[in-house]
DNA sequence: ACACAAAGTAAGCCTTGGCTAAGTTTAGAG
DNA sequence: CTCTAAACTTAGCCAAGGCTTACTTTGTGT
């Protein structure tokens, strides 16, 4: 807001950001980001597990490790956490399954991810960059923005689906 | 990646997301995100310090703590890190200054941040959401996407502002 | 001039999410 | 049936980024 049309404005280029936000608002912004960080990794794991179940029929720790690019030990530890959070069920040395909560989280993440990825591609971003950006961005996009992205794609004519 | 002629392909509806990416590519995506995470906080601090210097004339730990929404002790520890990274210079109990490298990083971050924020607003995202989303997204947007956002804004008529 | 509040620092604790190294279980080849 | 490789787990290490509590420094008000 406050887009003012004064004839001569100092640096003129970027009107909206040249003042610092009020302290509490600023702090809330960072707090929101910090909070997102805490759930990010969890969501990534759950989403990946869901994808593996869908596309491979099972989710094994070795696959997760390979796809996440981390050691099996790291995955093993993470699975324990996911278990405690009741997002997956697992028996030792067996592949995993998502709980109901896990399934819901996977679906939610998958959807956000897809919207962001498709949006970037609709915008004209190349495949590689779009994938990487989507992976990083998906946890930081509000529902409001997500909705706008969807509307944008509905309106957008092109982006040729290859 | 535009077209894949492998013999068996899942239903071609929304072609881009229904198959898992190759393992190495997938791993690289996550690695990129992990990497971004490591620098994110650093960039946020440096950007904020730059903003405080610009808008307040000085950057004191107490202000940083208030704006980041963390304790002074946390800021103090962080400043030590920034010092080690030669991004800021500081004398005990005095306010800080950015080194050349710090100044450059602040400018880069500020610019990314502004582009993302303005882009979101141009898309029609409300101010509060746009600020929060921009704060989270800025570290995960590739140069390619950033360029496209700029072009988009140059082409787009201003949406809901004023 | 000095006391005292505000600002800053230091020490020590916790949790996360990586890692390696070493041990256990599973499953498949011979 | 046995042996071995791959899959998995466990233990223990590390760094980062929070926190609190306790201390020091700075600078201001009377």
The DSSP code for B59 is B
Residue A132 CA neighbour count, 13 Å, CB half: 22
Quick check: A107 pLDDT over 90? yes
Contact B32 A139 (CB under 8 A): no
Express each pLDDT in B24-73 by its tens digit.
999 999 999 999 999 999 999 999 999 999 999 999 999 999 999 999 99
Q: What is the pTM of this model?
A: 0.88
Strands A97-98, A88-89: pairing is: antiparallel
Smallest CA–CA distance from B146 into chain A, residue: A125
| Top-confidence residue, B16 or A35 | A35
Length of chain A, please?
162
- Which of B2, B25, B68 lies closest to A30 in CB terms? B68
The DSSP code for A8 is -
> CA nearest A45: which of A85, A7, A92, A4?
A85
**Reported CATH class of domain B23-155:** mainly alpha
> CA nearest B49: which of B7, B71, B91, B82?
B82
Express each pLDDT in B33-42 by its tens digit.
999 999 999 9
Quick check: A8 pLDDT over 50? no
Where are the domains positioned within chain B?
23-155
Which of B144, B147, B150, B156 has the highest number of chain A CBs within 10 A, making it the mutation to test binding with A? B144
Quick check: B161 pLDDT over 70? no
The reply to whether the CB atom of residue A73 sits less than 7 A from any atom in nucleic acid chain D is yes
What is the average pLDDT across A57-82? 97
Structure-token pair, residue B10: 């899942």
Alpha-carbon span A98 to A48, nearest angstrom: 11
Burial of A93: CB neighbours in 10 Å, binned 0-12, 13-18, 19+: exposed
Chain position carrying tokens 């990497």: B35
- Nearest residue to C26 via alpha carbon and C1': A93
Residues on chain B touching A3 (C-beta within 8 angstroms):
158, 161-162
3-state secondary structure of A124: coil
The reply to whether the CB atom of residue B93 sits less than 7 A from any atom in nucleic acid chain D is yes
Q: A115 CB contacts (<8 Å, ≥6 apart)? A: A146, A149, A150, A153
């Amino acid at each position: 807001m406050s887009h003012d049309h004064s004839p001569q404005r100092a640096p003129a280029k970027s009107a909206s950001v040249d003042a610092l936000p009020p302290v509490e608002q600023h702090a809330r912004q960072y707090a929101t980001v910090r909070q997102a960080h805490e759930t990010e990794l969890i969501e990534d794991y759950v989403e990946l597990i869901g994808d593996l179940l869908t596309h491979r029929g099972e989710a094994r720790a070795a696959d997760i490790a390979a796809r996440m690019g981390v050691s099996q030990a790291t995955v093993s530890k993470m699975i324990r956490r996911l278990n405690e959070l009741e997002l997956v069920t697992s028996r030792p040395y067996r592949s995993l399954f998502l709980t109901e909560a896990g399934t819901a989280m996977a679906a939610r993440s998958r959807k956000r991810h897809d919207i962001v990825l498709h949006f970037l591609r609709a915008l004209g971003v190349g495949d590689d960059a779009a994938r990487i950006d989507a992976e990083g961005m998906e946890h930081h996009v509000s529902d409001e923005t997500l909705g706008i992205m969807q509307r944008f794609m509905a309106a957008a004519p092109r982006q040729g689906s290859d």
